Structure 1
């Protein structure tokens, strides 16, 4: 009877450890949104782009990005409402990077969203 109880306790501990490990992982999927935007936020997966698609960090985080330093939020430099210090508005920066890259992927025969409602999905 003791071994059965011990096995149940061990199983519970392993299960709780596994659950805590999963929930402790950094968030991978982000909602890219701009306050007051006309379209719903874009559901963006960092892992898909960096790991699966092998997009170089510098494509989004710019040439001065240091992988040892935590990346800033886009809106730290790209204001949602106006051009500041020569940096385009956030929406323009997202669209330039994302849409241009997606169009190149489609031209290369791959699948990537290029239309508004393919990224900005309603409900």
Structure 2
């Protein structure tokens, strides 16, 4: 009888440890959203783009000397409302960077979203 209780406790503790380990990992998926946007925010995975797809940091963090040291938000330079100081509106910058790259990937036979609702998903 004691061994059954011990086994159940061991399983429960192992399960709880595993769950806490998974939830303790840093979240990599970010919501790219702009105030007043007509479409839902885009779920963006930094790890997929930088590690899996090997996108060079400077493709997105083009103004940063070393993006690993100090990274600004896109909206620090790309105003959500209007183009300023030679920098395009944030939405235009996202769309140009993302859509151009996704279209190139599709041309190379890779899967990448290119339609509005493929990135801007409801719910």
Q: Which runs of 5+ in 1 are unaligned?
A: none
Paired with 1:39 and 1:106, the residues of 2 have a C-alpha distance of 23
**Alpha-carbon spacing, 1:84–1:10, altered in 2? closer, same or farther (3 Å):** farther
Paired residues of 1:65 and 1:71 also in contact (CA < 8 A): no
TM-score by length of 1: 0.81
Paired with 2:63 and 2:75, the residues of 1 have a C-alpha distance of 17
**Alpha-carbon spacing, 1:65–1:12, altered in 2? closer, same or farther (3 Å):** farther
Q: For 1:73-115, what per-residue CA distance to the aligned partner results, in whole angstroms no more than 9, with x for missing partners?
A: 3223322112344332211110111011111112222222222
Q: Which runs of 5+ in 2 are unaligned?
A: none
Matched ranges for 1:1-123 at <5 A:
1-62=1-62, 64-69=64-69, 71-123=71-123
Paired with 2:47 and 2:69, the residues of 1 have a C-alpha distance of 18
**Alpha-carbon spacing, 1:65–1:11, altered in 2? closer, same or farther (3 Å):** farther
Paired with 1:23 and 1:65, the residues of 2 have a C-alpha distance of 33
- Which aligned runs of 4 or more in structure 1 are off by greater than 3 angstroms? none
Paired residues of 1:29 and 1:45 also in contact (CA < 8 A): yes
